[in-house]
Structure 1
């Protein structure tokens, strides 16, 4: 099978042919249809994952079809369309696992970082950590939902979104644009914060009622003028400072959720936090039950990301463009 392999930090992906692997106990062999190119894949190559196991096949936004099942696996059946996510395995015994929050397991294993992922024609995956795709959901368009979609959907839920929430989304890229559409579909009012007004038309088309350009106004003050502030600020931008700048635009009891952040520490004003019971959290991806809910909600509301289909040999170019900040639409590797 044709495969892309991350061999070391600061090295481009190497392409090679490998034997199709066989699934072991509790595993399934998935014939891959598509794999999204995620910023986490770039982080792997840039050395931001000290737990990484090299060589490793990157990719955790995986969709495909179960081609074979290993010993002890009766579900999902061969022929089932499935997706696989960032979370590839867990200990199954700790308090977090038995409560269904495997993403918090201290011994979790990450697809494409310590386990071979989806930059290949086939992948062996843990049967308990693949998710059947809802009927009729396009597997190529659905690939980014396995991480970008899950991150946006679950981040909003963990932040306490309700149908009466005012939600401010910072950054309208791959994750941010999905967060906008999910929040609107959940009944919330949405404002989008960007550096310039260049993205205003697209934000309003997705359902945002307000657009705040930080080059023209202070984001916190602009949010405070929005009926007293945002109940939830969702930072999808790769900038910690952007989140901090908007933080005091929260309404009392409001929550800042970071799914994007930079290398700088998060510094927040303690007095406004104390006086208004403000909250801040970083939300990591999600557990298998969150993945099911994300896919079901996306299918029910016809929420799919915009993407560009590429071949596996184009992966290095897509990652390089991402590193330069010129990625455009989300790239999805497809296998014919």
Structure 2
């Protein structure tokens, strides 16, 4: 099978032929349909994951079909269309795992970082960490939902979104665009915060009622003018300072959720936090039950991302474009 391999940090991907692996105890062999390319894959190659196991096959936005099952696996059966996410394994016995919050397990392992992922024609995955695809959901377009979609959906949910919420989404990239569409579909009022006004028309088509370009206006002041502020601010950009700049635009009892952040520390004013009971949280993607909910919601509301289809041998070039800031829509590797 053709495989794109990361041999070490700061080294380019190499494409090699490998034997199709066999699933072991509790595992399934998945014939890959598609795999989205995520900024986490770029972080892997740039050496930002000290827990990485090299050599490793990157990729965690996986869709495919179960080709074979290992010993002890009664579900999913061969022929089942499934997806797989960043969270690839956990201990299964800690308090977090038994409560269904495997993403918080101290012994969790990540697909495409500590275990082989989806930049290949086949992948061996843990059977209880794959998720069935809802009927009617295109498996190629659905690939980015396994991470970008889950991150956006669960960030909104963990932040306490309701149908009466005013939600401000910072950024209109892959995660941000999906967050706008999810929030609108959940009945919330949506504002988009971006550096320039170039994305305003697209944001309004996705359901935003307000657009704030930070090059023209202070985002916190603009949010306060929006009926007293946002109940939820979701930062989807790799900039901690962008989140800090909008923070005091929260309404009382509002919540800032970081699903994107940068290397700089988050510095926030204490007094407004105290006087208005403001909240801050960071949300890592999600657990298997969260992915099921995100996929079901996406299917029910027809929400899938825009993407650029590429071949497996083009993965390295797509990652280079991301590193150089030349990437446009999310790239999705299509096998075959």
- Please give the TM-score of this superposition, normalised by the length of structure 2: 1.00
Deviation at 1:313, TM superposition (A): 0.7
The aligned counterpart of 2:290 is 290
Q: Over aligned residues, Cα RMSD in angstroms? A: 0.4
Alignment of 1:1-336 (within 5 A): 1-336=1-336
Can you list the C-alpha shifts for 1:239-294, whole angstroms capped at 9, x where unaligned? 00000000000000000011111110111111110111101111000000000000
CA displacement, residues 61-92 of structure 1 (integer Å, 9 cap, x when unaligned): 00000000000000000000000000000000
**Alignment partners' CA distance in 2, 1:334 and 1:93:** 36
**CA offset at residue 326 of structure 1?**
1.7
Q: What are structure 1's unaligned runs of at least 5 residues?
A: none
**Partner SS, residue 305 of structure 2:** coil
- Secondary structure at the residue paired with 1:197? coil
TM-superposition CA deviations, 1:177-235 (whole Å, max 9, x none): 00000000000000000111111000001010000000011000000010000000000
TM-score (norm 1): 1.00
Q: What SS is found at the alignment partner of 2:289? A: helix
> Structure 2 stretches of 5 or more lacking a match?
none
| SS of alignment partner, residue 62 of structure 1 | strand
Q: How many residues are matched?
A: 336
- Alpha-carbon deviation of 1:136? 1.6
Once the two structures are superposed, residues 291-313 of structure 1 have per-residue CA deviations (whole angstroms, 9 ceiling, x without a partner) of 00000000000000000100011
Distance 2:215 2:333 in 1: 36
Counterpart CA distance in 2 for 1:181 and 1:272 is: 30
